[in-house]
Structure 1
Amino acid sequence: MHPGCSHDSIRSVSPAIPIFAFLLAVSFPGGALVMAAPLAETAPAHDGGRIHFDGVHYDYRDAEGRKAIRLWVPPVDGPVRAVLFHGNPGGSGDTREMPSNRLLQEFAARHGMAIAGVTWIRGREVYQGSGDNILGALRDFAALGHHPELAEIPLIARGSSNAGVTAYSLLCHAPERMVAITPNVGPRYNPEIPPEAALRVPALMHIGPEDPLMRGGVERTEALFAHASPRRALWSWDAEEGKGHEIGHIDDVDFAFYEDVLSLRLPEPGPLRELHFEDGVEWREGLWVPTERVAMLQRALAEGDRRLELSFSGLTEVGNPFEAGVMLRSEGGRMADAGSTVRVSVDWSQLEGVEEVIVFEGAEEVIRLSGDQTAFDYRVPEEATVRAFCAVARTVAGVVRSFPKHFLVRDPTVSQRIDRQLAGLETEPPRLLPAGSGVRGEAAKAGPREVMAYALTAEQEEKLRRGEDLWAEWPEGSGLELGGERCRFYVVALHSRSGLWLDWEVADPVIHAENELDDSIAFHIARGSTAAEAGLPADILVSPQYGLRIDAVQVQIPLREESPYFGRIFRNLPSPWHMHRINQDWETAAESDKIQVRVSPNADGGRVTVFLPWERVGPGGAFSEPEPGTRLAVSLRYDGVDENLIWPGAEPWQVEFADLSENPAWGDLVISGLVLATEE
């Protein structure tokens, strides 16, 4: 799928939604003033859009309802120091969940930084204009009076693909505002020749030499540095061996880079300090990094050999399903508590003639290993915020370097502050339509733009929960079928007192499964009917730009075992100002949300059975089994990459509200009292 064709999150929400809240400020001993309940404010933005502040997060959307920014401010005393800014992958991708990433919050809070995520910020447009949206939104946030420092706050721009393009373009657009940038697999440079002021801003650029989406990145980067290096730019770049359009090992260098650059350029909130080439380290001819620590890690990234590998045990692992593909986001990692002990292991079994292995934390030698000693215990310093290691093996054939490997360090005091700050925001998302508000009407057989949801017997539901295949029990014609030239899907909808079941059969003989949406089933299910669209468009629709509804949930489940996302379920939940994205493995979804997923792929497609308890139908919260005849708006989809099947016609992400009557994005799921059973 093309990087610009993202359906991963909602872009904006209708400004017509009323919001009521209050502020309760609690002062903790030795801590900052922490919001125990949200303060809600909305105001006009500089460009005719709107801004919003809930006491913790700032939100911005432009007048068209497309470009949007979400910013989290840490619970720290005094002004915020900088913003860790994440561009969006794909022209319409979304990183507004990044400010809620707890791993990033722990790191950012210890450095007094806010975190920003965006959507619809297209990198190629930033230098000419979209950069003004970003800086203008920060000034709008500052004007609310809670954090006036946001008006001129410095930024660290990071991100992959389109977000990498954004980072470089933002640097050239406003170099005076940039602490540093770390673009990844985004080697499309606009402008091709950077302004002189941009060369004085530290930059660490990561390229994928095997990148299928950004071909020619190495050549374009070499051309860029042919201009920059003779002018003694504070820049460096690498091309990790074998890397394509993916995250790779960038975080293992970047977090140490952020920490060291901040200490040099912004030791405390205020104006940025100017750096010169002599203030850092030239680790390779013409390539600058701020410290010997980063130089060591950068060399390990550029020269890493997979035959020498570091690993940790005793850490909190945070998985990242977006390591590759068009939805790239650097949101995974590892975390240790300050003062804890981490087991560090080195595997050199694939190397011959190893004389000794030296392990470094940054540029500091930690230990020398040889013979049977392949691991050691490392005590995490209390003051540390990031630890990044690499190993160097001395062999009879020469020196071999491992790739770097890092973990972040959690301070329990900071964690408690964040917990208290967020506690007041843990409320159910708004629900415009109460339980049972769908349009009722007896229906024994599905009509146009309708699919029947049949009642389950207790015995049938128990069999489904045990994982039994009941496909033979569904009479022919009881489901909805949609076919194309190559693909076909057939869906049987069922319900019980506990929830909604969708039993899918997919026929698609071609396997893609490289990206998140490849070969996956997807559906939107709302708490109101399609009839509600005509009466409440301003309240029901997320934005006039889309056919998305605020009373609906979107669910995506990959079908193929070949997919890097197989075994996961993705949900998009609307809130007043952004789409909250939940990414879970099946076991976690079952334990935390009582959602059940079963996928049985085969060479010609496969079967998917998914169960949503009624409280997970729509945006969440109290909801019970609707009465027979109730209609709930629904949209069904199979993403076959080069052939997508969509019922009843249009994908809600891709149709404007004004066009829904001619290009319908929603049909009705009719709750029936009939029970499905084959004739005995």
Structure 2
Amino acid sequence: MKLLLRSLVLSALCAITVHAEYAPMPPAAPPYYRVRYEASQAPDGLIFPVSYTVWIPPGVKTLRGIIVHQHGCGEGSCKSGITAAFDLQWQALARKHECALLGPAYEQPEKAICSMWCDPRNGSEQAFLHALSDLGAQSHHPELATVPWALWGHSGGANWVGNMLVMHPDRIAAAWLRSGTPRISPRDGSPATPAEIPAAACAVPTICNLGTREGVTVKDPRFGGLWPNVEKFFTDFRGKGGLVGVAVDPNTSHDCGNSRYLAIPWFDACLTARLPDRAGDGKLKPMPTDGAWLAPLLGDAAQPAAKFTGDAKAAVWLPNERVAKAWAEYEKDGNVSDSTPPPAPTEVKLTGNELTWSAQADLESGIAGFVIERDGKELARLPEKPPTRLIGRAIFQTNGYSDSPAFPLAEMRFTDSSSASGEKHTYSVIAINSVGLTSAPAKTSP
């Protein structure tokens, strides 16, 4: 009976047409690289096509790790994975730690069964490992196949991250699960069951992140049942000594909101502590626990672990004071403060009346936009129009539901249509981060 059911499930899934052009993709010229695999016909293969796009920080000779930004279920979320590797703020994190930034995009049709990719046992594990090897060869960074992973996932992507944590704890530096938990989903269509947490996973710093309307304080009609699953996963994991915390966004349901402003400093702390000193090495360092902070579950105030008087095995675990303070801010209003200005733009060039430039994002607060000055006076601001639908803070790349930039990608380009032919001007570009702080101006050459 199980074999018949499995055959029917796979036949139905394979009958769904998946076109080669699933969605438009940004070009993948260096420092970007891409591989794409068609759906597998093997009994244990991935039944959906998938593409993997990786960004390699320019100038890095040997990588120290890979940051994976894994989208969720449904056609819209899957398409958001196409731009994940182009996200400027996540690139800032990757650049700091000499890591690659990888964005998978599973080509799952809207009505197909998500677990056929978000449980890695159903073929996405082997596709992911294959991609690391192929991308390593393509980019001349063969260490992509062996360096550690930092895994971020949303919804079904959190299921994928949690399952990879269960399956490969020795390879994972840190794991962030937004709105999902690890569940085993058999290919034969049997009901999903919670994944058993191995002892080795307890050494991996992990965060369960969800919106308050996912059953914490409000039961959203669609996602309100998530909190019981997260609570059980956290309780079991923490009870075994796992280095796991919970962060509740007070403003959202299933969308990612402003979670990146906590996730990125949290990953920053974990990667600083755990990545090997020698680039290319695959052996992670143990996560230090002497500077950890603890907080009551669903609380908003943390203390140094040595001063915590509650049950430590039921408390939210946070890696250090800096992250604990950011976590407390996030718990209260969904924001994280920042007092540091963004880096100044670079490569400001004028060709005719068209101005172009490059910019690296502020690690803590990203890029909200740019001020264009002409002869020392403000001429324009980019973006010129605010997005019609806002997820989290307004940023230059227009963050989406699944924490990825909108397509087509925003360009660092401005045309001065008010400049008359033959006029000579000096232009400056100023970056603004998402808390409103500005960079030093970067000028065109005289």
Shorter-normalised TM-score: what interval?
0.5 to 0.7
Asked if structure 2 preserves the Cα contact closer than 8 Å seen for 1:179 and 1:202, the reply is yes
Asked if structure 1 preserves the Cα contact closer than 8 Å seen for 2:329 and 2:336, the reply is no
Q: Deviations over 1:61-116 (max 9, x none)?
A: 22337211111111134211111111123244131212222333233222211111
The answer to whether residue 242 in structure 2 is matched with residue 248 in structure 1 is: no
The 3 A distance-change label for structure 1 pair 150 and 53 is farther
The residue number in structure 2 matching 1:292 is: 321
Asked if structure 2 preserves the Cα contact closer than 8 Å seen for 1:107 and 1:385, the reply is no
User: Structure 2 matches for 1:404-443, cutoff 5 A?
Assistant: 406-407=364-365
TM-score of the aligned structures, taking structure 1 as reference length: 0.39
The answer to whether residue 97 in structure 2 is matched with residue 86 in structure 1 is: no
The residue number in structure 2 matching 1:58 is: 33
Higher relative contact order (CA 8 A, sep 6+): 2
Asked if structure 2 preserves the Cα contact closer than 8 Å seen for 1:70 and 1:117, the reply is yes
The answer to whether residue 163 in structure 2 is matched with residue 172 in structure 1 is: no
Larger radius of gyration: 1
Query: What do you get for the CA RMSD once the two structures are aligned?
Result: 4.2
User: Structure 2 matches for 1:521-536, cutoff 5 A?
Assistant: none
The 3 A distance-change label for structure 1 pair 146 and 590 is closer
Asked if structure 1 preserves the Cα contact closer than 8 Å seen for 2:163 and 2:195, the reply is no
Shift of 1:246: 2.0
Secondary structure of the residue aligned to 1:166 is helix
Choose from 146, 153, 174 the match for 1:159: 153
Asked if structure 1 preserves the Cα contact closer than 8 Å seen for 2:251 and 2:257, the reply is no
Shift of 1:54: 4.8
The answer to whether residue 222 in structure 2 is matched with residue 228 in structure 1 is: no
Q: Deviations over 1:458-507 (max 9, x none)?
A: xxxxxxxxxxxxxxxxxxxxxxxxxxxxxxxxxxxxxxxxxxxxxxxxxx
The residue number in structure 2 matching 1:118 is: 104
Choose from 253, 262, 266 the match for 1:257: 266
Amino acid at match of 2:275: L
Shift of 1:204: 1.4
Secondary structure of the residue aligned to 1:150 is helix
User: Structure 2 matches for 1:94-105, cutoff 5 A?
Assistant: 94=79, 95-105=81-91
Q: Which runs of 5+ in 2 are unaligned?
A: 1-15, 40-47, 108-113, 185-193, 215-219, 296-311, 346-360, 368-386, 392-396, 398-405, 418-446
Secondary structure of the residue aligned to 2:123 is helix
Choose from 281, 293, 300 the match for 2:292: 281
The answer to whether residue 131 in structure 2 is matched with residue 137 in structure 1 is: yes
**Whole-angstrom CA distance in 1 between matches of 2:28 and 2:414:** 33
Larger strand percent? 1
Asked if structure 1 preserves the Cα contact closer than 8 Å seen for 2:275 and 2:285, the reply is no
Amino acid at match of 2:212: P
The 3 A distance-change label for structure 1 pair 87 and 105 is same
**Whole-angstrom CA distance in 2 between matches of 1:310 and 1:57:** 30
Asked if structure 2 preserves the Cα contact closer than 8 Å seen for 1:193 and 1:227, the reply is no
Asked if structure 2 preserves the Cα contact closer than 8 Å seen for 1:56 and 1:73, the reply is yes
Percent identity, please.
21
Q: Deviations over 1:317-340 (max 9, x none)?
A: xxxxxxxxxxxxxxxxxx4449xx
Choose from 143, 149, 154 the match for 2:143: 149
Choose from 196, 201, 204 the match for 2:199: 196
The 3 A distance-change label for structure 1 pair 208 and 189 is farther
**Whole-angstrom CA distance in 1 between matches of 2:252 and 2:58:** 37
Amino acid at match of 1:297: A
Larger helix percent? 2
**Whole-angstrom CA distance in 1 between matches of 2:340 and 2:144:** 38
Amino acid at match of 2:143: E
Q: Deviations over 1:368-400 (max 9, x none)?
A: xxxxxxxxxxxxxxxx974xxxxxxxxxxxxxx
The residue number in structure 1 matching 2:55 is: 72
Q: Deviations over 1:521-571 (max 9, x none)?
A: xxxxxxxxxxxxxxxxxxxxxxxxxxxxxxxxxxxxxxx97x559xxxx9x
Asked if structure 2 preserves the Cα contact closer than 8 Å seen for 1:208 and 1:240, the reply is yes
Asked if structure 2 preserves the Cα contact closer than 8 Å seen for 1:283 and 1:299, the reply is no
The answer to whether residue 408 in structure 2 is matched with residue 582 in structure 1 is: yes
Asked if structure 2 preserves the Cα contact closer than 8 Å seen for 1:207 and 1:239, the reply is yes
Shift of 1:180: 0.7
The 3 A distance-change label for structure 1 pair 583 and 265 is closer
**Whole-angstrom CA distance in 2 between matches of 1:257 and 1:134:** 24
Asked if structure 2 preserves the Cα contact closer than 8 Å seen for 1:11 and 1:119, the reply is no
**Whole-angstrom CA distance in 2 between matches of 1:311 and 1:232:** 30
Q: Deviations over 1:245-270 (max 9, x none)?
A: 12233222221111111121115322
User: Structure 2 matches for 1:19-34, cutoff 5 A?
Assistant: none
Q: Deviations over 1:585-631 (max 9, x none)?
A: xxx99977x9xxxxxxxxxxxxxxxxxxxxxxxxxxxxxxxxxxxxx
